Structure 1
Amino acid sequence: MRSSGSGKSGGRGNYRGAGNNRDQKQGQGRPRKPRPEERRYDVGPGASQDGPKSGRGGAARGGPKGGPKRPQEPRRGAGQGRTAPARSREYEARAEERNRERYAGKKDVKLPKTFPGAEQEGERLQKVLARAGYGSRRACEELIEQARVEVNGEIVLEQGLRVDPEKDEIRVDGLTVATQSYQFFSLNKPAGVVSTMEDPEGRQSLGDYVTNRETRLFHVGRLDTETEGVILLTNHGELAHRLTHPRYGVKKTYLAHIVGPIPRDLGKRLKDGIQLEDGYARADHFRVVEQTGKNYLVEVTLHEGRKHIVRRMLAEAGFPVDKLVRTAFGPITLGDQKSGWLRRLSNTEVGMLMREVDL
């Protein structure tokens, strides 16, 4: 039977036993490192040499690897001593009441749109231009960079300017920009349609072509029931008023079919003036467009807007009109627009109309 206290085979048993002195022999030559359970996590001036030094690693600061965290003291600003005592609710209520009494009778100060504190008023200029149909916002920013945009008569050179589309006058290349609140249409009125928005007798009228519009539109001027061609519809009252006012003299162009032969001086007679029941009527321009035998297609331009003016002038000159078409109202032309078709005017066309009547 082997002895547990002697021989080489008993060395392992002695090592596992509680009475061996191996650790003591190893500790005589150099200091023993502390075991994990013996390590200290003291930090700061009182840290032991065995534990981690102050400020080393996250564990020493109480980081994610463990260790006690030190309570952080609130930082104090320069010149601060002790924390000010909290105000009572009663004191806060009295202060608020005093402020209300102080500003009760004062009006709100309205800052200009370019003031740094008024950025929230209005819309950005490039956004208004983009909505009006001048392209993307980036394209509208390029218009501003090219000094082609004016607001209230001044050229805009800065990006992000805020404007009020309802009050500010915005122009691009000298033409007024039509904002979204206004609508402008051109209708090629067919023959037989009454130039009213609603007819009490049940006849077809201009209103039948815009029944699906949310905004109420009205027509600019009139055309005879049997006369075809351009008639404008809008909700811009001032523009409609000026377009029909004799003071601004907006020209209208007509194509009339008459039966000849016609004398060479017919154009001169019309330009000099034809005596009618309600006074002289003069044409601004006259020319023969087409002739087929005795059938003539003539063009008459005038700035008056009296009832049946073209028909009465030609009839008084001895040439009753068989068919009449208005091909232009100011800068708005009929082009290839088909009979009965309604189209929205472009911003350029609206700008030309407004320039025609000084808007």
Structure 2
Amino acid sequence: MSGQDGERIAKYLARAGIASRRDAERMIGEGRVVLNGAKVEHPATFVVAGDVVMVDGAMVAEAARTRLWRYHKPDGLLTTHRDPQGRPTVFEKLPPDMPRVVSVGRLDLNSEGLLLLTNDGTLARRLELPTTGWLRRYRVRVYGMVDSDRLVSLKQGITVDGVRYGPIAAEVDSAKGANAWLSVSIAEGKNREIRKVMAALGLETTRLIRVAYGPFQLGNLPRGGVAEITGKVLRDQLPKDK
């Protein structure tokens, strides 16, 4: 436990790899979390040594050591633990010997490439924040006539449908007719950011592959493949607390 009085239950569940803090708070609101036999009513509830925490009727084990994996997400999978429509999810397709993990950010249904997975929800939230300074890098195939000057202007940011997107680095790798491959780097990663920004430039995104998240690369990891990042590399690469 952290501190003499334990820690907030949402943080405890995040450290145990059950869910992100935000999702843990939602689970508490849905009445799915029980502490010492009583339903938890508020995310500010504290857990101390010896407490018994249960989620959906299953006991939550003490947090294991923090681990991080690279995963090559294929397109056609949702980055969610449960889909009301019954569509296939990333977590259903992971190897059976994987512990319960959460994703660092998301890739939408039709996007593919590098997705980081961790058993520590607090770490996931930390790595999602723009304050890490980590860039998300993508290869993006677009359909339409690319205006190089407009691509360069994205370094100043852009507002689309009232949403402000921060600086985006984008350049053409190759082009043939109305099809082009771009290299795109963003620091924040709002919902469907690249697709929306490209649409604002008159370009349809026909393929989107994340090739790097901060210092971690997709490399030659096969589609659907999972590779754990060693503890030493994880410690060396994690952003230092300021």
Please state which structure has a larger fraction of its residues in helix: 1
Distance 1:350 1:279, change over 3 A: same
Q: Deviations over 1:49-68 (max 9, x none)?
A: xxxxxxxxxxxxxxxxxxxx
1:188-212 per-residue CA deviation (whole Å, 9 max, x = no partner) reads 1111101012334332112123362
Equivalent in the alignment of 1:280: 164
Structure 2 CA distance, aligned partners of 1:312 and 1:334? 24
Question: Which residue in the other structure is 2:184 paired with?
Answer: 300
- Equivalent residue, structure 2, for 1:331: 215
2:24 aligned residue: none
Deviation at 1:273, TM superposition (A): 1.8
1:253 to partner: Cα distance: 0.7
Matched with 1:346 is 230
Q: What is the root-mean-square deviation of aligned Cα atoms in Å?
A: 2.3
Amino acid at match of 1:220: V
Aligned counterparts of 1:226 and 1:315: Cα–Cα separation in 2: 15
Aligned to 1:218: 102
Q: Which moved more, 1:197-206 or 1:223-232?
A: 197-206
Does residue 1:314 correspond to 2:198, yes or no?
Answer: yes
Q: Is the 8 A contact 2:67 2:231 kept in 1?
A: no
The structural deviation recorded for 1:317 is: 1.4
Offset, 1:240: 0.8
Residues 209, 342 of structure 1: 8 Å contact kept: no
Q: Give 1:344 shift.
A: 1.1
Report the counterpart of residue 239 of structure 1 in structure 2: 123
| Residue 198 (str. 1) matches residue 82 (str. 2) | yes
Shift of 1:350: 1.5
- Residue by residue over 1:126-164, the C-alpha shift from the partner in whole angstroms, topping out at 9 and shown as x without a partner, is xxxxxxxxxxxxxxxxxxxxxxxxxxxxxxxxxxxxxxx
By how many angstroms is 1:277 displaced? 2.6
Distance 2:123 2:162 in 1: 27
State the shift of 1:339 in Å.
Answer: 1.2
C-alpha separation between the residues in 2 aligned to 1:212 and 1:295?
39
The code of the aligned residue for 1:344 comes to E
Indicate how the Cα distance of structure 1 residues 251 and 226 shifts in structure 2: closer, same or farther if over 3 A, else same.
same
Say which SS state the counterpart of residue 183 (structure 2) adopts. strand
- Provide the TM-score with structure 2 as the length reference: 0.67
* CA shift for structure 1 position 290: 1.7
**Distance in 1 of aligned mates of 2:127 and 2:99:** 20
2:134 aligned partner: 250
State whether structure 2 residue 62 is matched by structure 1 residue 182.
no
1:290 corresponds to which of 166, 174, 184: 174
Structure with more strand by fraction: 2
Equivalent pairs, count? 180
- The structure-2 alpha-carbon separation of the partners of 1:350 and 1:309, relative to structure 1 and needing over 3 Å to count, comes to same
- CA distance in 1 between partners of 2:98 and 2:188 (Å): 32
Paired residue type of 2:220: D
The Cα of 1:347 is off from its aligned counterpart by 3.4
**AA in 2 matched with 1:305:** G
CA distance in 2, matches of 1:278, 1:316: 12
Spell out, residue by residue over 1:51-107, the C-alpha distance to the aligned partner (whole angstroms, 9 max, x if none).
xxxxxxxxxxxxxxxxxxxxxxxxxxxxxxxxxxxxxxxxxxxxxxxxxxxxxxxxx
Question: Closer, same or farther in 2 for the Cα pair 1:216/1:267, shift >3 Å?
Answer: same
| TM-score, normalised via structure 1 length | 0.46
| 1:228 pairs with one of 108, 112, 115 | 112
Q: Partner amino acid for 2:102?
A: F
Distance 1:293 1:189, change over 3 A: same
Q: Point out which structure has higher relative CO (alpha carbons under 8 A, 6+ apart).
A: 2
